[in-house]
Amino acid sequence: MADPAQARILICDELHPAALDVFRRRGLEPAIRVGMNEDELVEAVAGVDALVVRSATKITRRVIKAADALRVVGRAGIGVDNVDCEAATERGVVVMNTPTGNATTTAEHAIALLCSLARHVPRANARVRGGEWKKKGLMGTELTGKTLGVIGLGRIGRIVAERAQGLRMNVVAYDPFLADAGKSAPLAGVALTNLEDLLATADFITLHVPLSESTRGLLSWEELARVKPGARLINASRGGVVDEEAVLDALVEGRLAGAAFDVLESEPPAPDHPFLARDDVILTPHLGASSSEAQERVAADIATQIADFLLDGVAENAVNAPALGAEAIAEIAPFLLLAEKMGSLLAQRLDGPIRKLELTVGGDIVQHDIEHLRLALLVGCLRRTLQLGVNFVNAPQIARERGIRVLESREDDPYYRQGQIKVRASAPAGGESHLITGAVFGREPRIVRIDDVHLDLPPRGPLLITSHADAPGVVGQIGTILGQHGVNIRRIELGPPAEEGGGLAAGFLTLYEEPGPEVIEAIAALEPIHAVELIHL
Ligand code: NAD
């Protein structure tokens, strides 16, 4: 585009006017069209350089394909579930979010819930409005000197911890990704501990973790059986990290004296949700980020970031691509996608903290700055635990904080001439390590090796990895179970029995549909199956 100031920007969702002010100050005049459906959007995006959304508008693969001039999609807020990031990366379109804009507001909401729980504020309010001016049954508890257990000491968890210290609470925290890095807590006066000790000592427990495979049901029956009797629980993170049935049981039995939820597994809750009938549960409708300051901040942030990108070529908080010129991004996009998927695969295979990543790059791609591949790899690894809080800008700092070292080298004579990426990821000293090699054929990324097995796997969708006895009919048995549950296999590759590991063979099945836990259990129960794991790519 000849003149960056002529860039066409389309705002697709209701956005705080602060965004318009920022754009205009930078000499940009966006168009605003709110509430378009996919067909309307497909028509509207032709020739548009930048799209701005909150959560309502879905930027699908079809929309991205139709957007012939698109260079950036900006989401005012953190979650980019409404943007097909993979399609964007493939086309070299940068997707950016505003990860920090609502952290304070959400942390303050958690503190509001904490105080409300301690002093029964919602119940007392309802009683007075119901015509009763009585204290009976509303005896509160002081916060001073009590212990707050913070689960997840990221951006929001840290603000909550700090504020709670201001209330003179003792704060302990559980965040294995900091603790296993051998780091002290990033806040003075906050002790990092394990989950068991936190549960046994905390008077109030507050959750600030992302929802992921490893945090789903983080607090369930077993954990809630260990809480200090009379503890109170707050969840302003994501529904699903707490097992609601187990909380109900703990409340009924009096192990928990109260609970406050801003988020639920299913939002809004069904009219017969048992929490709705309980006095000892406080519920707010996912209000965490709802303050005028947060909405203004994320709107201004996204406008600033988009203006910086269009006018100065700087991509801050890019979820899927680093600060590169649009042309360079288009060239290396398939490699970035590949490196990110490889990072994600390795983090899932290791299923614990990664201590070292050895990255070896060879082929034509080394003409480009391979720094970006390193960033993409780190983003893929870290998203397993941090999801969208991690981006190409903050990934190196987060990796350092978590004690992850990246060693880089170049390979002079790689097998795949266009470009080959090899990565070994290792757990802390003496632990597991895995090696993956990836290559790009044309513009198609492929995983070509996992440990000792040579493959040709498109890194997309669910991947089932089995370790099984090398006997006839095993694959048939797996296929039958998948078929019975309506799960279609995209591709199967088999590895020969490894010499080490008792002659077990490996299977790699990419699937079209996501298999439920019952499918994995049924496969794991097959006689010849030694182990099975489901990876999401
Ligand atoms: P963040 O990525 O900065 O921090 C998350 C922390 O959780 C990280 O330090 C990570 O190491 C830790 N963690 C990951 N897995 C863990 C585990 N198994 N056990 C303990 N700790 C673990 O994220 P953030 O910005 O602080 O956001 C935290 C949560 O708050 C997210 O789920 C986000 O979606 C949610 N959120 C809710 C609202 C709301 O409206 N209620 C608003 C904003 C964010």
Beta bridge partners of 533: 465
Q: Residue 381: which residues within 8 A CB-CB, separation 6 or more?
A: 343, 344, 346, 347, 354, 357, 399, 404, 425
Distance (Å, whole) CA 450 – CA 463: 12
Q: Give the E-state strand segments of 250-383 in sequence order.
A: 256-261, 281-283, 356-362
The secondary structure of the chain in percent helix, strand, coil, rounded to multiples of 5, reads: 35, 25, 40
- Rounded mean pLDDT of 33-55? 96
Out of 3.50.50.60, 3.40.50.720, 3.90.650.10, 1.10.10.10, which CATH number does the structure's domain 103-283 have?
A: 3.40.50.720
Q: Which residue has the tokens 């632990």?
A: 431
Which among 245, 267, 444, 514 is annotated as catalytic?
A: 267
Of the candidates 21, 25, 83, the residue with the CA atom closest to the CA atom of residue 50 = 83
pLDDT digits (tens, 9 = 90+) for 399-433: 888 889 899 888 888 888 888 999 999 988 778 89
The segment(s) of the chain belonging to CATH 3.40.50.720 are: 1-101+289-320, 103-283
Is residue 267 part of the annotated active site? The answer reads yes
Residue 388 has pLDDT above 70, yes or no: no
Query: pLDDT band at residue 183, thresholds of 50, 70 and 90?
Result: low
pLDDT digits (tens, 9 = 90+) for 61-94: 999 999 988 989 999 988 787 899 888 877 778 8
Residue 119 has pLDDT above 60, yes or no: yes
Are the beta carbons of 241 and 205 closer than 8 angstroms? no
Q: Which of the listed residues 150, 216, 385, 391 should we mutate to test ligand 1's pocket, taking the one with most ligand atoms within 8 A of CB?
A: 385
Are the beta carbons of 72 and 313 closer than 8 angstroms? no
Handedness of CA 287, 293, 299, 302 (dihedral sign): negative
Residue 283 has pLDDT above 60, yes or no: yes
Cα 221 off chain centre by: 24
Predicted pLDDT of residue 85: 85
Tokens of 364: 């034509």
Are the beta carbons of 405 and 355 closer than 8 angstroms? yes
Please indicate whether residue 21 or residue 353 has the higher confidence score (pLDDT): 21
Cα 99 to ligand 1 centroid, rounded to whole Å: 11
Nearest ligand 1 atom to the CA of 262 is 41
- Rounded mean pLDDT of 117-136? 97
Q: Domain 1-101+289-320 has what CATH class? A: alpha beta
Nearest ligand 1 atom to the CA of 290 is 40
* Whether this model's pTM surpasses 0.75: no
Predicted pLDDT of residue 317: 85
Beta bridge partners of 144: none
Report the range out of 204-213, 259-268, 442-451 with the highest average pLDDT: 259-268
Q: Could you write out the DSSP letters of every residue in 365-424?
A: GGGS-THHHHHHHHHHHHHHHHGGG--TTTHHHHHHHTT-EEEEEEESS-SSSS-EEEEE
Are the beta carbons of 320 and 160 closer than 8 angstroms? no
Burial tier of 205 (Cβ tally within 10 Å: 0-12, 13-18, 19+): buried
Distance (Å, whole) CA 529 – CA 537: 23
Q: Domain 461-536 has what CATH class? A: alpha beta
The segment(s) of the chain belonging to CATH 3.30.1330.90 are: 325-459
Is residue 402 part of the annotated active site? The answer reads no
Percent of the chain with pLDDT over 70: 94
Query: pLDDT band at residue 321, thresholds of 50, 70 and 90?
Result: low
Is residue 400 part of the annotated active site? The answer reads no
CATH topology of domain 325-459: 60s Ribosomal Protein L30; Chain: A; (3.30.1330)
In our burial notation (b when 16+ CB lie closer than 10 A, e otherwise), range 88-97 reads bbbbbbbbbb
Are the beta carbons of 302 and 96 closer than 8 angstroms? yes
Ligand 1 lining (C-beta closer than 6 Å): 78, 102-103, 106, 151-157, 174-177, 208-211, 214-215, 218, 236-238, 262-263, 286, 288-289, 385-386, 389
Mean pLDDT of the chain: 90
Distance (Å, whole) CA 425 – CA 347: 8
